[in-house]
Amino acid sequence: MAPETRIPRLLLTGAAGGLGQVLRSSLKPHATILRASDIAPMAPAAAGEEVVPCNLADKAAVDALVAGCDAIVHLGGVSVERPFEEVLEGNIRGVFHIYEGARRHGVKRVVFASSNHVVGFHRQGEVLDNGCARRPDGYYGISKSFGEDMAQFYFDRHGIESVSIRIGSSFPEPRDRRMLVTWLSYRDLTHLVVQSLTTPGVGHTVVYGMSANRDIWWDNRHAAHLGFSPLDTSEAFRPKVEAQPLPDPADPATLFQGGGFVKAGPFETL
């Protein structure tokens, strides 16, 4: 993106998390001001940054956070499988507060960090497009499915355009055989987020976030208008990963796309 097309003020929630820290750095060239937010401690603001702590469960605080912003990259919330009560506050109340803030303050583009766990109970090897049935693999996946519905609703009702990115496994390198398929490099993550922010006329688009890996579970043909062309592949890591012991073929984490998330819990809260 050329400097003259920078987003004047871009809000990044979840900026203290693993991917939030990556995007806080890599999105800075694409915004005049990057407003970084999280409930957890963050690094101090550098030039061209604002650091605004915020609890996503606090509607008034989120409304103030969104004020003055031109676009939002929403990564904030619980990022792993947890008891429903924890997921409820950050991921369900939080995404509602983000979209309400966007409506109230005239923000017309949101990039929502959804997850492959929206479809985690589909079988490994099954190739899914973005119109497939959602089969969440836990409370976290349910919250991301809810977020996708919020994105669709706020587009249909209020004209707020969103791209919901069903992020695969975004780490420095894939850790196991499943991640050889689901891996998304940091470079490809940044490229996908930038395309999601800047492509005109996205309506509400759902796209899978994965690099150009050899084996494919996800088909992005219906999101081709985003112009996302991944540059990296997990192949360089295959010998290291395949040196690991073979997993149990009867293990649900081996059978289903969500991996270990399909086995997390139940969580006793009483």
Q: Considering only CA atoms, which of 26, 23, 227, 13 is closest in space to residue 99?
A: 13
Catalytic residue flag (residue 154): no
Distances (CA, A) of 140 to 76, 106, 151, 229, 233: 13, 29, 17, 28, 27
**DSSP-assigned beta bridge partners for residue 49:** 34
What is the phi/psi pair of residue 113, to 5°?
-75, 90
What DSSP string describes 11-77?
Answer: EEESTTSHHHHHHHHHTGGGEEEEEEE-SS--PPP-TTEEE----TT-HHHHHHHHTT-SEEEE--S
Paired tokens of 213: 């890996």
The one catalytic residue in 99, 139, 140, 154 is 140
**What residues act catalytically?**
140
